[in-house]
């Protein structure tokens, strides 16, 4: 039986961007990105999480950072040209993005928000992000993945 396609996969195919899909078993409780990397048998440096924030302007921004790292909100605000930045509440993820917690992909959100990938993605031959549904991961070349969501690269994590 063929795997169902998510919006993220459809967009990559429409843009003719090659990707590989991984699946992993989903549990009832939240699975963090480090756990997902292990379930997919991937190095944590190549697996990235998608975080949605709101700037002082009340506009939304998307930040894609390695799963084992923490987003530096000051650096995120600087990259986005905002005075300050805060994470959106987990209960607002679906309303803002169309995705659910644990299945939020930088590609295929309800709107195309300004998107920033941590610059370490450029050091990898590929990175892995959520495929748009819990249990689905997409592996893709970083610059091609960023091009699918008009993303930029910036320093976004604590050092």
C-alpha 96/C-alpha 135 separation (Å) is: 21
Model pLDDT, residue 3: 67
Range scoring the smallest mean pLDDT among 21-35, 53-67, 140-154: 21-35
Is residue 71 scored above 80 in pLDDT?
yes
Is residue 1 scored above 60 in pLDDT?
no
Model pLDDT, residue 2: 58
Residues 79 and 158: beta-carbon distance below 8 Å: no
* Residues 137-151 pLDDT 10s: 999 999 999 999 999
pLDDT interval class at 30 (50, 70, 90):
low
Query: Which residues touch 46 (CB under 8 Å, ≥6 apart)?
Result: 37, 124, 126, 127, 128
How would you class 31 by CB atoms within 10 Å of its CB: exposed for 0-12, middle for 13-18, buried for 19 or more? Answer: middle
How would you class 106 by CB atoms within 10 Å of its CB: exposed for 0-12, middle for 13-18, buried for 19 or more? Answer: buried
* DSSP code of residue 6: P
* Residues 75-123 pLDDT 10s: 999 999 999 999 999 999 999 999 988 889 999 999 999 999 999 999 9
What's the whole-number mean pLDDT along residues 41-51? 93
Model pLDDT, residue 113: 97
Model pLDDT, residue 33: 85
Of 143, 133, 131, 139, nearest to 107 by C-alpha is 131
Range scoring the smallest mean pLDDT among 13-22, 23-32, 112-121, 145-154: 23-32
Query: Which residues touch 34 (CB under 8 Å, ≥6 apart)?
Result: 44, 67, 68
Instruction: Return the structure tokens found at 46.
Output: 């190549």
Please report, to the nearest 10 degrees, the dihedral formed by the alpha carbons of residues 138, 139, 140, 146 taken in order.
50
By DSSP bridging, strand 60-66 and strand 115-118 are parallel
Model pLDDT, residue 4: 76
């Amino acid at each position: 039986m063929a795997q169902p396609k998510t919006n993220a996969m459809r967009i990559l195919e429409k843009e003719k961007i090659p990707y590989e899909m991984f699946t992993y078993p989903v549990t009832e409780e939240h699975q963090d990105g480090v756990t997902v990397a292990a379930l997919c048998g991937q190095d944590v440096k190549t697996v990235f999480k998608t975080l949605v924030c709101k700037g002082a302007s009340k506009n939304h921004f998307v930040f894609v950072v390695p799963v084992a790292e923490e987003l530096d909100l000051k650096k995120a605000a600087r990259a986005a040209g905002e005075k300050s930045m805060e994470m959106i509440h987990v209960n607002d993820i679906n309303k803002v993005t169309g995705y659910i917690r644990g299945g939020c992909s930088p590609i295929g959100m309800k709107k195309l928000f300004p998107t920033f990938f941590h610059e370490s993605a450029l050091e990898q031959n590929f990175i892995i992000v959520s495929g748009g549904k819990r249990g689905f991961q997409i592996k893709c070349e970083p610059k091609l993945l960023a091009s699918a969501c008009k993303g930029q690269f910036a320093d976004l994590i604590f050092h």
